[in-house]
């Protein structure tokens, strides 16, 4: 350890860490109970270590140093807010601002923008705010994302997350500093650069340079159309994060409040994607059992993540046979709404507008895929992200805090089990599938909690005993981890019967459409883990925790679908992939 002083206070810190790390340590100790005293703009834990923005600085022995690259030494006296430091930060911010298109009033990231926060803190006003000239064209090539170089501050977080965590490299960079040019890897734009729409770049962007293509207006239009019967469903992971946009602490489950809020927005039916997830488990466990019993293609790989599906189609076309043919839960749910529910309620399927609220940007792409129209009309018509829902609620002056925490989803298709809610966190689909598949294979009541597949590790494995035979399973999240595991499977160095893949590190809870948390918050909290814990708690508190025990699922099979894997189930609930 070494002894240092920060702003006159004594600390003993681990040798070799940076000044920035040391300042985060003081925050953890709560000695500096103000805010983070060294700001960051480029730095992001696990994504971007070096912060060259010019704001991440401190004064040591009368000299200004970069806090993200300078390491602490015995006896070092660090000042983080001297007039010289503050002036230098202001200059750096002014240089960034000069290049930035200041359209804050209508920017989707207004109020969750790391640059805007700093500008406010450092006393910038609107007065010298001249419109930016030489505006660059937006990259609108993607179906789901918008890249706006006019707002880019060249932090390179998107490049790192896309290359290192997702093994995609759809965004590239030439040049240095504020003159750097951040561009898609293909001149034809992001969509042509093999982007898989995962939105991890959106999640880490400190400003509004990368955002989802919003569809809030389409939802409002449908709600205002008296001819339309507008149904909404909400993904598991949304309830674990929506609260953050309304000042709830991280990891608070707002399921009930959210159901009431959606009703107030005017939807005709408010459903939970949990129902679709239970249905997915019925179909997918049936597929697993068939493949195990009939020497089918193994490992079976899960199919509910559309970022992963696009990645597989592009990078592993020879493994598409391994991927389950099951549609993802919200697509299955849409197909059931437009058939079973349409019959029950005597509504023409063409008049139903199915809206999904998802933590995910790739879901916006998924609904446009071929073979996602079980009833001859799209299963799902519109996808909005958690962030878009938060915005819509704010626009309608619906306060989540004021909603009833015990409000319920509508029946019948708003009912789901504990197995379904953990879909939203890495390992959850596997655990839910095992709860059903092992019981079906052994005919015995099985364990409920498969703890080996829980936790935030990027690659997890477990062995399950089924009638004396060992079934080996693996769970990966983050596409770079998926890439590693699939390479091992292809090379024959790994051998599994069942694999879960989620594109986003930590699973859907960490999706590209979830509320933004700034760099300091991400250092102090394991955000995906805290959101995941809320889902495990939701499962533990559920009366029914196995998908095959969902009474509504049973009813829908009995009166409508027949058996899992039936012809009707295939027509409505399964899909295909393209090389």
Per CB under 6 A, residues contacting ligand HC1 are: 235-237, 273, 276-277, 304-305, 328-330, 358-360, 363, 423-424, 507-508, 511
Tell me the closest approach of the beta carbon of residue 44 to ligand HC1, in angstroms.
Answer: 22
329 binds, among ligand HC1, ligand SF4, none (CB under 5 to 8 A by kind): ligand HC1
Residue 383 in the binding site for ligand SF4 (CB under 6 A): no
Count H helices and E strands in the chain, helices first.
20, 17
Tell me the closest approach of the beta carbon of residue 503 to ligand HC1, in angstroms.
Answer: 9
Cα–Cα distance between 304 and 428 in angstroms, integer? 12
Tell me the closest approach of the beta carbon of residue 478 to ligand SF4, in angstroms.
Answer: 11
For residue 190, what are its two tokens? Answer: 């992001």
76 binds, among ligand HC1, ligand SF4, none (CB under 5 to 8 A by kind): none
Q: If DSSP states are collapsed to H, E and C, what string results for 341-394?
A: HHHHHCCCHHHEEEEEEECCCHHHHHCCCCCCCCCCCCCCCEEEEHHHHHHHHH
Tell me the closest approach of the beta carbon of residue 409 to ligand SF4, in angstroms.
Answer: 30
Please pick, from the candidates 38, 58, 153, 168, the single residue that binds ligand SF4 as defined by CB under 6 A: 168
Our CB check for ligand HC1 shows the closer of 107 and 504 to be 504
Residue 166 in the binding site for ligand SF4 (CB under 6 A): yes
Draw the binding track, 112-151, toward ligand SF4 (x: CB under 6 A; -: no contact): ---------------------------------x------
Our CB check for ligand SF4 shows the closer of 141 and 518 to be 141
Site for ligand SF4 in 260-319 (CB under 6 A): none
Pairing of strands 382-385, 352-358: parallel
Cα angle, residue 511 at apex, residues 188 and 459 outer, rounded to 5° = 100
Return the H-helix or E-strand segment holding 272. strand 269-272
Residue 162 in the binding site for ligand SF4 (CB under 6 A): yes
Our CB check for ligand SF4 shows the closer of 170 and 353 to be 170
Nearest to 251 by CA among 44, 529, 455: 529
Our CB check for ligand HC1 shows the closer of 276 and 414 to be 276
453 binds, among ligand SF4, ligand HC1, none (CB under 5 to 8 A by kind): none
Q: Supply the DSSP string of 460-512, one letter for each residue.
A: EEEEEEETTEEEEEEEEESHHHHHHHHHHHHHTS---SEEEEESSTTSGGG-T
Our CB check for ligand SF4 shows the closer of 213 and 440 to be 213
Tell me the closest approach of the beta carbon of residue 52 to ligand HC1, in angstroms.
Answer: 34
Tell me the closest approach of the beta carbon of residue 133 to ligand HC1, in angstroms.
Answer: 40
Draw the binding track, 194-223, toward ligand SF4 (x: CB under 6 A; -: no contact): -xxxxxxx----------------------
195 binds, among ligand SF4, ligand HC1, none (CB under 5 to 8 A by kind): ligand SF4
Q: Supply the DSSP string of 494-562, one letter for each residue.
A: ---SEEEEESSTTSGGG-TTSPP--HHHHHH--HHHHHHHHHHHHHHT-S---GGG-HHHHHHIIIII-
Cα–Cα distance between 473 and 370 in angstroms, integer? 30
Our CB check for ligand HC1 shows the closer of 279 and 438 to be 279
Tell me the closest approach of the beta carbon of residue 311 to ligand HC1, in angstroms.
Answer: 14
Return the H-helix or E-strand segment holding 275. helix 274-293
Tell me the closest approach of the beta carbon of residue 197 to ligand SF4, in angstroms.
Answer: 5
473 contacts: CB under 8 Å, gap ≥ 6: 430, 434, 453, 461, 462, 463, 464, 496, 497, 498, 499, 500
Tell me the closest approach of the beta carbon of residue 147 to ligand SF4, in angstroms.
Answer: 8
Our CB check for ligand HC1 shows the closer of 47 and 237 to be 237
Our CB check for ligand SF4 shows the closer of 369 and 454 to be 369
Tell me the closest approach of the beta carbon of residue 577 to ligand HC1, in angstroms.
Answer: 16
Cα–Cα distance between 237 and 504 in angstroms, integer? 12
Our CB check for ligand HC1 shows the closer of 37 and 426 to be 426
Q: Give the interface size with ligand SF4 as a residue count (CB under 6 A).
A: 15
280 contacts: CB under 8 Å, gap ≥ 6: 304, 326, 327, 328, 329, 332, 423, 429, 573
Stretch that binds ligand SF4, among 7-15, 158-166, 417-425, 528-536 (CB under 6 A): 158-166
Site for ligand SF4 in 169-198 (CB under 6 A): 170-171, 190, 195-198
Cα–Cα distance between 210 and 109 in angstroms, integer? 9
Residue 232 in the binding site for ligand SF4 (CB under 6 A): no
161 binds, among ligand SF4, ligand HC1, none (CB under 5 to 8 A by kind): ligand SF4
Cα–Cα distance between 289 and 469 in angstroms, integer? 13
Nearest to 141 by CA among 203, 84, 191: 191
Nearest to 357 by CA among 237, 266, 439, 254: 237
Phi, psi of 75 (to 5 degrees): 80, 5
Is 564 in contact with 283 (CB distance < 8 Å)? yes
Tell me the closest approach of the beta carbon of residue 549 to ligand SF4, in angstroms.
Answer: 37
For residue 472, what are its two tokens? Answer: 């080996």
Residues that bind ligand SF4 (CB under 6 A): 145, 161-162, 166, 168, 170-171, 190, 195-201
């Amino acid at each position: 350890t070494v002894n240092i002083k920060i702003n006159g206070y004594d600390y003993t810190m681990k040798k070799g860490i940076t000044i920035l790390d040391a300042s985060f340590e003081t925050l953890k100790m709560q000695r500096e109970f103000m805010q983070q005293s060294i700001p960051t703009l480029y730095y992001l834990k696990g994504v971007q270590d070096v912060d060259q923005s010019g704001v991440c600085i401190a004064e040591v022995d009368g000299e200004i140093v970069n806090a993200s690259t300078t390491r602490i030494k015995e006896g070092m006296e660090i000042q983080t807010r001297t007039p010289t430091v503050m002036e230098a930060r202001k200059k750096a911010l002014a240089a960034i601002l000069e290049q930035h298109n200041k359209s804050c009033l209508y920017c989707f990231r207004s109020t969750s923008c790391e640059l805007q926060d700093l500008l406010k803190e450092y006393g910038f006003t609107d007065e010298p705010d001249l419109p930016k000239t030489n505006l660059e064209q937006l990259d609108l090539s993607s179906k789901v994302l918008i890249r706006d170089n006019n707002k880019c501050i060249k932090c390179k977080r998107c490049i790192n997350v896309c290359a290192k965590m997702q093994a995609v490299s759809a965004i590239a960079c030439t040049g240095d500093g504020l003159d750097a040019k951040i561009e898609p890897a293909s001149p034809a734009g992001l969509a042509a650069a093999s982007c898989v729409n995962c939105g991890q770049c959106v999640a880490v962007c400190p400003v509004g340079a990368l955002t989802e293509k919003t569809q809030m207006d389409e939802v409002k239009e449908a709600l205002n159309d008296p001819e339309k019967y507008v149904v909404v469903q909400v993904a598991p992971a949304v309830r674990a994060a929506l609260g953050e946009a309304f000042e709830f602490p991280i990891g608070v489950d707002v399921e009930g409040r959210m159901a009431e809020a959606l009703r107030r927005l005017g939807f005709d039916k408010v459903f939970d994607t949990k129902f679709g997830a239970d249905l997915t488990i019925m179909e997918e466990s049936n597929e697993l059992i068939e493949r195990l019993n009939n020497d089918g293609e193994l490992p079976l790989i899960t199919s509910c993540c559309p970022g992963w599906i696009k990645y597989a189609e592009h990078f592993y076309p020879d493994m598409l046979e391994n991927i389950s043919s099951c549609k993802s839960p919200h697509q299955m749910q849409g197909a059931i709404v437009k058939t079973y529910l349409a019959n029950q309620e005597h509504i023409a399927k063409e008049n139903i507008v199915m809206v999904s609220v998802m933590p995910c940007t790739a879901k916006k792409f998924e609904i446009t895929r071929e073979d996602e129209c079980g009833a001859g009309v799209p299963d799902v018509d519109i996808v909005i992200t958690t962030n878009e829902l938060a915005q819509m609620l704010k626009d309608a002056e619906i306060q989540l805090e004021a909603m009833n925490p015990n409000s319920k989803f509508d029946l019948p298709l708003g009912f789901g089990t504990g197995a379904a809610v953990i879909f939203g966190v890495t390992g959850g689909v596997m655990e839910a599938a095992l709860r059903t598949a092992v019981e079906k294979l052994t005919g015995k009541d099985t364990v409920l909690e498969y703890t080996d597949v829980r936790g935030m590790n990027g690659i997890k494995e477990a062995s399950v005993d089924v009638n004396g035979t060992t079934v080996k399973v693996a769970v990966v999240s983050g596409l770079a981890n998926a890439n590693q595991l699939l390479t091992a499977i292809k090379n024959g160095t790994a051998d599994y019967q069942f694999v879960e893949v989620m594109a986003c590190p930590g699973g859907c809870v960490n999706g590209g459409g979830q509320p933004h948390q700034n760099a300091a918050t991400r250092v102090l909290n394991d955000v995906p883990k805290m959101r995941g814990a809320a889902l495990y708690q939701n499962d533990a508190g559920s009366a029914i925790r196995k998908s095959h025990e969902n009474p509504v699922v049973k009813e829908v099979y009995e009166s409508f679908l027949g058996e899992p894997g039936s012809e009707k189930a295939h027509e409505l609930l399964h899909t295909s992939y393209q090389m």
